[in-house]
Chain A
């Protein structure tokens, strides 16, 4: 009995660091955040309790919040585009291709590269007068816009860069999923006379659907909290056209020192993310197939 208790102590000692970390850096901040979101707090004076004021202001008196919400949803368009392309690349790579290592590296390079460096690079590429993109467009007779200083084109530019940067990671996941599809299924379908496209739709897509769900859920959570790219590329402009919720939250917290309001915003975004995630899982029952 004493021996057993000694083993418990060992076990608790082993897990103590992450559990303590959970308390200190997750649970306590979360509880504190709920409180801060109900106060007016600059980070310097004592917080003043204001009840639900921050939430009311956010949801009914702040048109900018709704604009940033729309922008955020717009920016998330990069996800379906990126997933479709990543799948296409993975399918191509899955055909016993020579040079698979080379191709995998080419697509994967942006994933391991610093976001700051990649964003600076694309800021230069998007340069209206001397940038690579408009030069290349010019070669085929298109006069490109001044991407980042145009209200219309700044967000598409962010989406384009987001898709480019995220391809490699999703491609690796899809490639692993494709390699896990049992070959016997394809053989059976072929004997039944199913064509290539039919096999893709009826066998490949359902078999890799758990991976699709995983990518979808994690990408949405990541993209809706994406801040560094926007900070470096556009600083939310021009005229708020690329101000996402997280960017706006940041401005409120660290530029206007309106910590209470920013915390309320964080909670609205957090709850929105959790709702989307739950919705994703709920909907997934209709289209995700587990073996």
Chain B
């Protein structure tokens, strides 16, 4: 092959690459517009006056910015109350569930004991069980012990830990070196304190990732509260938001203002912890 033809081939390749990259940008810009426009529409609607929603053609920038939609939704429409309820439910559940999951994951990763693999596989099998199968019997049981219309069915099961979190944390513990733990063991520290003082501080990234997933799952949960909560004063944020449909029928300004507010905590969480999100998802996906 002569030098000239290699040169031609390389210029051709570079041109090709440039075209491909340009096509990628066009595609991505169009795609992100499709993703973003609904959010902008939501924001725009949430700031309009009631009647302005039905203007045709719609105005993207409201003539008069109706900030009172937000204060109405937060106060009179009980969204803030729902938010507080959600936090009271989700934060302790996530923290305790994370702790019990991590503790079990540590045992599965580091300790040797009879029936370890059987128990581990059994636990993993719960991830395969479709939620619909356990939903009705769980409801019947909670009803018989008087837990319906309380927050307990939304909190207690999660505090026992989650199979997915156990699995994820176990994978993580297996990647960290055990020298420190061995040394502590020599010093006579018992396994619980080794876990608390040595393992947990080393596991911050994994704990944060799982904690975020747990929090998001609880925060966005609609099905559980829908089944178990009846009294409006116990409604979670998602239930309050869903109830807007009935209360403020076709009052899209309120419904959209509520939706915007409901997104703010998770969007903030995402911006501050984007790295953990992406790593967490891909780790679960790759090893699953």
**Could you list which residues of chain A lie within 8 angstroms of chain B, going by C-beta atoms?**
7-8, 10-12, 14-22, 24-26, 28-30, 32-33, 36, 41, 43, 88-89, 91-93, 95, 97, 101-110, 112-118, 120-122, 124-125, 129-130, 132, 135, 164, 167-169, 172-173, 176-177, 196, 211, 214-215, 218, 221, 225, 227-228, 231-232, 246, 249, 253-254, 259, 262-263, 266-267, 269-270, 273-274, 277
Q: What are some 25 contacts across the A-B interface (CB < 8 A)?
A: A8-B113, A8-B114, A10-B107, A10-B191, A11-B116, A24-B157, A28-B141, A109-B39, A110-B35, A112-B266, A120-B245, A121-B39, A121-B259, A124-B255, A135-B56, A164-B38, A169-B281, A173-B281, A176-B278, A176-B282, A176-B285, A176-B286, A211-B285, A266-B133, A277-B128
Contacts known (A88-B27, A107-B35, A130-B56); A11 close to B136, Cβ less than 8 A: no
- Size of chain B's interface in residues, with CB distance under 8 A? 100
- Residues 52-96 (chain B) with a chain A CB within 8 angstroms: 53-54, 56-58
Among B175-183, B200-208, B222-230, the stretch that binds chain A is B222-230
Question: Which residues of chain B are near A41, meaning CB under 8 Å?
Answer: 140
Rounded to whole angstroms, the CA-CA distance of A167 and B285 in the bound complex is 15
Question: Which residues of chain A are near B237, meaning CB under 8 Å?
Answer: 114
CB pair B104 A15 closer than 8 Å: yes
Question: Which residues of chain A are near B128, meaning CB under 8 Å?
Answer: 274, 277
CB pair B20 A95 closer than 8 Å: yes
CB pair A122 B133 closer than 8 Å: no
Contacts known (A107-B35, A266-B135, A273-B130); A7 close to B267, Cβ less than 8 A: no
Question: Which residues of chain A are near B143, meaning CB under 8 Å?
Answer: 43
The yes or no answer to B161 lying at the interface (CB within 8 A) is yes
Partner of B113, one of A11, A32, A106, A214: A11
Contacts known (A21-B157, A130-B58, A172-B282); A116 close to B267, Cβ less than 8 A: no
CB pair B259 A120 closer than 8 Å: yes
- Residues 122-177 (chain B) with a chain A CB within 8 angstroms: 122-123, 126, 128-141, 143, 157, 159-163, 166
Q: In the complex, how many residue pairs between chain A and chain B have their CB atoms under 8 Å apart?
A: 272
The yes or no answer to B16 lying at the interface (CB within 8 A) is yes
CB pair B129 A36 closer than 8 Å: no
CB pair A124 B252 closer than 8 Å: yes
The yes or no answer to B4 lying at the interface (CB within 8 A) is no
Question: Which residues of chain A are near B112, meaning CB under 8 Å?
Answer: 7, 11
CB pair B58 A120 closer than 8 Å: no
Contacts known (A14-B111, A95-B20, A121-B42); A112 close to B216, Cβ less than 8 A: yes
Rounded to whole angstroms, the CA-CA distance of A47 and B190 in the bound complex is 50
A61 CB, nearest partner CB in chain B, Å: 21
CB pair A113 B267 closer than 8 Å: yes
CB pair A259 B160 closer than 8 Å: no
CB pair A26 B24 closer than 8 Å: no
CB pair A122 B38 closer than 8 Å: yes
Contacts known (A10-B192, A20-B160, A113-B263); A106 close to B32, Cβ less than 8 A: yes
CB pair B285 A135 closer than 8 Å: no
CB pair B114 A30 closer than 8 Å: no
A-B complex: 7 closest residue pairs judged by Cβ atoms: A21-B160, A117-B259, A14-B107, A106-B32, A17-B100, A92-B24, A176-B282
Question: Which residues of chain B are near A231, meaning CB under 8 Å?
Answer: 226
